[in-house]
């Protein structure tokens, strides 16, 4: 059967990190199979707390005419009535996904059952968050479901391990919080600390993930060889295809406000004046903020370290909101006189064009929350990390970077802002990381000499391997070929 008749339908999650890498994966697959078609069904979450994803979606749709003509973007309609009565975020999210299942089915009925199109639906590629819902649609149409996993292979192994314990042995994952301090997880070659496990609801996602025909992972073999080999050797898990790193280095065109464009120019003008690899860049993702006492500790650490720094400092959300804002005057939360005393070595900014900053030759270190996309960007640009995770998979990513991959040093690996007191359902205020701990981490990161065992040397080695993975004959290139063999073998 010719590839000309084959179409995959992508269903990404309405989360910026997952959505961007899923669209990037779709584009990569189209590059490898010139006659393949892909439709991306976009779920735009109403009242979304993540304004960034809605802005990205709007820009992507506006630029559709400039994209590959075989990539089609379909914005699914909303069903606000289905969301009434759901007040907490988890319930709201599940109700939203359930309402979108009907929209996905309706689209496929119109496109592949009622139309005279010669295209043949070969399967769904769905985000791990959407697996359980969309698998029902796939079964109705008699086509396989594949998962797109936007996190790393080791984390996938952790996810599958706990699903296996629950499904095959009836073991409740909640019991592990009070178990031995370390666990033996097959995708980690060192004992995994219990205190770094994601919050327990994470393991309730995708109860049917082991039923899918394959899992596409945004990673590459030389970054996580042990994890990928472990997954590949497990007979009860679906085949895994590491096709990354998938990065958003060329985002859709978006008209910038004059002040934002001016701020970007100032950032890069300042970086241009700094020596090579001399600047530590502090950035904690689109939602990463700290209370004032912690901001002051970071400032004390930077000043005492004497390191050149570029710090993306965001203001915590207002009550009733989840979106960070910008400080009109950062001095209100910084130690008195800090900006004046550090003006020759440092710069405070708000929102940062992260990948562009990491690409600048002046940047020699990255203090990061260790989100997987940020991790892959640091790998791609060869910038070592000082880890300061906050939530979900980030503590596990920090452990992997420091203890297994070797491209990072630790500041506070078990830091959390997503813990909740079940009795009052409110966030537990995280502990304050001291200026001394932060200073030690930053100094260790920036004073790494290029010895064979340094994180800086290791970061450069992995950077080179990340580029080769996507080249013809590279590991990710070959995994893409294997994925297509899987798709063709599952055609009926």
- The catalytic site residues sit at 18, 127
CA-based end-to-end distance of the chain: 11
DSSP 8-state assignment for residue 248 = -
CB half-sphere exposure, 302, CA atoms < 13 A: 27
Task: Give the integer Cα–Cα distance in Å for 351 and 314.
Answer: 7
Task: Give the integer Cα–Cα distance in Å for 82 and 85.
Answer: 9
Cβ-contact 155, 192 below 8 angstroms: no
Task: Give the integer Cα–Cα distance in Å for 353 and 356.
Answer: 6
Beta pairing partners, 39: 9, 72
Q: Which residue has the tokens 């959505």?
A: 19
Cβ-contact 222, 111 below 8 angstroms: no
Task: Give the integer Cα–Cα distance in Å for 220 and 238.
Answer: 17
Instruction: Give the CA angle between residues 136, 139, 145 to the nearest 5°.
Output: 85
Beta pairing partners, 310: 281, 347
- Among residues 364, 416, 427, which one has the least CA distance to residue 388? 416
DSSP 8-state assignment for residue 4 = G
Token representation of residue 212? 């899918």
Task: Give the integer Cα–Cα distance in Å for 461 and 407.
Answer: 9
Q: How far is CA 156 from the centre of its chain?
A: 13
Element (H, E) at 484: helix 475-489
Question: 3-state class of 126 per DSSP?
Answer: strand
- Among residues 113, 129, 114, which one has the least CA distance to residue 43? 129
In this structure, what are the phi and psi dihedrals at residue 457, rounded to the nearest 5 degrees? Answer: -65, -45
Cβ-contact 413, 196 below 8 angstroms: yes
């Amino acid at each position: 059967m010719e590839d000309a008749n084959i179409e995959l339908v992508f269903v990404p999650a309405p989360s910026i990190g997952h959505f961007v890498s899923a669209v990037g994966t779709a584009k990569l697959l189209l590059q490898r199979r010139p006659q393949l078609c892909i439709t991306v069904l976009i779920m735009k979450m109403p009242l979304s707390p993540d304004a960034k994803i809605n802005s990205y979606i709007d820009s992507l749709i506006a630029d559709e005419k400039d994209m590959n003509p075989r990539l089609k973007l379909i914005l699914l309609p909303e069903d606000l009535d289905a969301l009434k009565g759901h007040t907490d975020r988890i319930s709201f999210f599940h109700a939203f996904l359930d309402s979108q299942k009907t929209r996905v089915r309706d689209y496929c009925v119109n496109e592949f059952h009622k139309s005279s199109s010669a295209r043949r639906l070969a399967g769904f590629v769905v985000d791990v968050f959407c697996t359980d819902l969309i698998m029902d649609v796939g079964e109705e149409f008699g086509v396989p479901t594949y998962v797109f996993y936007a996190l790393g292979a080791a984390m996938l192994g952790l996810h599958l391990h706990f699903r296996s314990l629950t499904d095959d042995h009836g073991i409740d994952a909640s019991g592990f919080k009070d178990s031995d301090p370390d666990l033996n997880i097959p995708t980690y070659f060192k004992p995994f600390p219990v205190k770094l496990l994601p919050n327990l609801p994470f393991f309730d996602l995708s109860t049917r993930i082991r039923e899918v025909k394959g899992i596409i992972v945004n990673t590459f073999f030389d970054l996580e060889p042990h994890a990928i080999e472990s997954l590949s050797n497990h007979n009860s898990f679906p085949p895994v295809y590491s096709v990354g790193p998938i990065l958003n280095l060329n985002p859709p065109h978006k008209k910038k406000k004059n002040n934002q464009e001016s701020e970007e120019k100032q950032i890069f003008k300042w970086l241009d004046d700094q020596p090579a690899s001399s600047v530590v860049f502090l950035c904690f993702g689109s939602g990463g903020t700290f209370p004032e006492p912690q901001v002051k500790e970071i400032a004390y650490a930077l000043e005492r370290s004497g390191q050149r720094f570029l710090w993306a400092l965001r203001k915590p959300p207002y009550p009733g909101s989840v979106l960070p804002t910008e400080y009109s005057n950062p001095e209100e939360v910084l130690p008195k006189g800090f900006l004046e005393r550090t003006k020759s070595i440092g710069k405070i900014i708000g929102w940062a064009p992260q990948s562009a900053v990491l690409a600048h030759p002046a940047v020699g270190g990255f203090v990061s929350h260790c989100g997987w996309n940020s991790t892959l960007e640091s790998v791609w640009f060869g910038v070592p990390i000082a880890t300061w995770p906050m939530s979900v998979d980030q503590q596990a990513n920090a452990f992997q970077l420091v203890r297994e991959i070797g491209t990072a040093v630790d500041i506070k690996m078990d830091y959390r802002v997503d813990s909740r007191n079940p009795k009052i359902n409110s966030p537990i205020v995280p502990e304050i990381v001291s200026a001394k701990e932060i200073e030690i981490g930053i100094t260790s990161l920036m004073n790494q000499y290029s010895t064979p065992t340094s994180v800086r040397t290791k970061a450069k080695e992995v950077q080179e391997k990340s580029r080769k993975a996507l080249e013809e004959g590279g590991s990710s290139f070959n995994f893409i070929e294997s994925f297509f063999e899987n798709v063709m073998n599952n055609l009926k």
